[in-house]
Amino acid sequence: MKTLMGFMKKELLQTLRDPRMRILLFLAPCIQLTIFGTALSTEAKRIRLSIVGAPTETFIQDVYRQSLASKWFIPAKVTSSDPFEQIQKGEADAVVLLPTGGLDKALGRDDGKVQLLINAVNVNRAQSIERYFMNIVYSQFERDLPLKFDVRVLYNPAMETALFLIPGVMSMLVCLITILLTSMSITKEKEQGTFETLISAPIMPSEVILGKTLPFVLLGVSNIPLIVGVAMFLFGMPLRGSALVLMLSALIFVCCTVGIGLLISTLAKNQQQSMMGGFLYLFPSVLLSGLVFPIENMPWALRIFAYINPLTYFIELLRNIMLKGGDVRLILQNNLILAAMAALFITISWRRFRTTL
């Protein structure tokens, strides 16, 4: 233990003595979370809405006012009366085209057809525009129907995208820091020429592995309270579950990502290869984690990779603990999978490190 503690102390001092490294470890994740949490959004906002026809009629005026009051739509500033030209020039995102002679007369003839033109260059935004507008139209018709629906949205009643994305961004930042730092730990020793001194010292391979992993586990876990604090105070992210369970889950996840970083460092010959290996792992890992794109929508071949991705399980854990309060079965299941992955990656890294000796 004395040898191991000395080794860990050396790693921590070597990592933290550089002021720029301390900024990278503790300040950069908070800044990144603030930027990503503010900028990333899947909602369609500030939709420029235009009406072509007879916009002074009662029904369409009610729809128009409701659209602007919803904060999804804003008035389009158009220079042409041609609806297609309005969208082509980028002056409007959606154009309501009323029937000839006015909507009220058309309704009187039982021919009240209204056309909605949508700019579908961005397919997801176009689908959201259609959904928002049709909900507003149906809410106007609902006044004449005897049947009323009481819709209640659970866990995210304001439907804020940030509450969905921030747990994923938190997981991504922890993954980024731990994998990149750990992956360069051994290759840095090789480049500086201290690796030979390290392996010739009276230290067991297991002590070297623990000395190279435990400091980065501590650094990774120490980032969790900072990131959670930023998410809660800046974005109003709730923590409905146990903070202790959250920290325990984060510890298991960090052990897993540190094991991946250590495995990359045993495969790479220099720091450049380590960094490239880390990024080669991170990009598909983030895209196939359910952070933005639902796993259920992926082809089955890609779903296999999503389900062997540690980031997938930690994002699900964070969302469940912070938004829903934490389901015991889901927490146990996901943590057991992450623990098994951590054990697998660390074991493979340890075996490869012994081979390189």
Q: What is the CATH number of the domain that holds 67?
A: 3.40.190
Q: Are residues 245 and 132 in the same domain?
A: no
Whether residues 221 and 296 fall in one domain:
yes
Look at residue 336 in the predicted model and tell me its pLDDT: 96
User: In this structure, are 202 and 113 located in the same domain?
Assistant: no
Q: Domain boundary residue among 144, 179, 207?
A: 144
Q: Is residue 314 part of a domain?
A: yes
Q: Which of 62-71, 74-83, 206-215 has the lowest mean pLDDT?
A: 206-215
Mean pLDDT of the chain: 77
Q: In what order do the strands lie in the sheet with 94-97?
A: 73-75, 47-52, 94-97, 115-118
Which of 159-163, 176-180, 322-326 is predicted least confidently? 159-163
Mean pLDDT of the region 309-330: 89
Query: Are 254 and 317 found together in one domain?
Result: yes
| Residue 61 neighbours by CB distance under 10 Å | 12
Q: Is 282 a domain residue?
A: yes
Asked whether residue 132 falls in the same domain as residue 193, the answer is no
> Residue 150 domain-assigned?
no
Which range among 91-95, 245-249, 272-276, 352-356 has the greatest average pLDDT?
245-249
Structural domain includes residue 154: no
pLDDT of 247 higher than 90: yes
Instruction: Name the token pair of 68.
Output: 């602007």
**Axis crossing angle, helix 328-356 with helix 205-235, rounded to the nearest 10:** 140
For residue 84, the model assigns a pLDDT of 82
Residues 267 and 343 in one domain: yes
Mean pLDDT of 233-249: 89
Burial 328-342 (b: 16+ CB within 10 A, else e): eeebeebbebbeebb
Give the β-pairing of 94-97 and 115-118.
antiparallel
In degrees and rounded to multiples of 5, residue 289 shows phi and psi of: -105, -10
Q: How far is 246 from 250, CA to CA, in rounded Å?
A: 6
126 located within any domain: yes
Amino acid at 108: G
Mean of the pLDDT values across residues 133-140? Answer: 77
pLDDT computed for residue 117 by the predictor: 85
* Structural domain total, the chain: 2
Based on the fold, state whether residues 165 and 276 are members of the same structural domain: yes
pLDDT above 60 for 149:
no
Whole-prediction pTM: 0.71
For residues 10 and 123, state if they share a domain.
no
20 and 36 both lie in a single domain: yes
Residue range(s) defining the domain that contains residue 128: 47-144
**Do both 34 and 61 map to the same domain?**
no
Reported as a pLDDT band with limits 50, 70 and 90, residue 26 is low
Burial of 239 by CB count in 10 Å (0-12 exposed, 13-18 middle, 19+ buried)? middle
pLDDT of residue 256: 93
> Does 26 share its domain with 113?
no
Output the pLDDT for position 109. 54
Q: Is pLDDT at 181 greater than 50 in this prediction?
A: yes
